[in-house]
Amino acid sequence: MIGPGTRDPRMEKERLEADATDFVVRLAFLGLFAWWSLELVRPFLPIVIWAILLAVALYPTYAWLARHLGDRRGLAALIITVISLVTVLGPVSVLAASLAESIQWLAAGLNSGTLKIPPPPAGVHDWPVLGAQIDEAWSLAANNFDDALHRYGPAVLPAGGTLVAKVAGISADVLKFVVSVIIAGFLFLPGPRLAAGARAFAGRIIAPRGAHFVDLAGSTIRNVSRGVIGVALLQALLAGIILYVAGIPGAGLIAFGILLLCIVQIGAALILLPVLVWIWMTYPTGFSLFLTLLLVPVGLVDNVLKPILMARGLTTPMLVILTGVIGGTLTHGLIGLFLGPVVLSVFYELVVAWTLLGATEQTPASGPSRWITPR
């Protein structure tokens, strides 16, 4: 017999099974809707992620400008958006115009038969590995371009198709980035409300440190934008000005290449070293030495500024941030430049918090551990 104050084990088991079934069904429906929602927004995720990253990185500048404009936040958001669009579209427009002009010149020369290719320099044949092949192909193109086109055209056409596809992909990425800049402009005004919502959401997932992780992500994004993008812009600008004032041809293109290589963490040396070698072979020794003394510090300035700017205000070790920057760029491209350090920084803080929590629980009540001091 079961007394009035006791529970029937069989009924208790059935209730637990019903609760478990209800939980699994609800979780399955929630997972289904989450997956479906992600599938619907997946084509727009790169644009939205870029917009959020840009808004977080540029928000301090927007807030400073809004204060100096008499709290006219709409005007400040418009100015930041226009400047960002000009910064993106200006170099792209110049490169596109230069590429179109070069293609037009090449097509006109082919149609009129006036396209002439200079003969190869004398030392090309002595280049290692492919020197003889390059000299032969170059000499044939200089002497009889039609024969060179018939001979090497079938081998070059697939590479040309791949190049066109890559250019088309870059054009699509630039268009997506422009849309992201525009969306970021609309995120400035509701920025504080969106940040509060993100903190509340993170607090539900990672209580009680969710708000801390949101702030950490924002600080990491801003530090990476200053330490990587900002330093890369500084290096490209300084190198471009020095080369332009010195009268070096293609200074703008060289500066743009330095900007790209510095952003993807390869460094400016890959471009500056060949440029300096060409300058020493072309110009007088005094002029070449002067340019070398100016350009070498430009190529090395990131080694000084990047650690200072990227680690400012963060407790995450610099090695973790740099690993995230390089690994994120190699894995996910330019967007991984920001996502990599954010993910690794948050994961590092999670591991540290979990370790400290375990150490605190295992520490006697008499006092804290002498090896681990909680933050």
Q: Concatenated DSSP letters for 138-151?
A: HHHHHH-HHHHHHH
What single-letter DSSP state applies at residue 375?
A: -
- Largest Cα–Cα separation, the chain: 109
| pTM score of the predicted model | 0.63
Q: In b/e form, how buried is each residue of 338-370, taking b as 16+ CB within 10 angstroms?
A: bbbbbbbbbebbeeebeeeeeeeeeeeeeeeee
Q: What pLDDT sits at residue 367? A: 47
Q: 189-215, pLDDT tens digit by residue?
A: 888 888 888 888 877 777 677 777 777
Q: What pLDDT sits at residue 374? A: 42
Does 165 or 371 have the greater pLDDT score? 165
Return mean pLDDT, the chain.
75
The SS3 assignment for 325 reads helix
What single-letter DSSP state applies at residue 119?
A: P
Q: What pLDDT sits at residue 366? A: 45
Does 2 or 207 have the greater pLDDT score? 207
Long-range contacts, stretch 92-96, CB < 8 angstroms, 24+ apart? 92/174, 94/252, 95/253, 95/256
pLDDT higher than threshold 70 for residue 154: no
What letter represents residue 162's amino acid? T
Q: What pLDDT sits at residue 330? A: 79
Q: 56-99, pLDDT tens digit by residue?
A: 888 888 889 988 888 888 888 899 888 888 877 776 666 666 56
Does 126 or 185 have the greater pLDDT score? 185
**What single string gives the DSSP state of each residue in 195-211?**
HHHHHHHHHHHSTTTHH
| Cβ-contact 231, 309 below 8 angstroms | yes
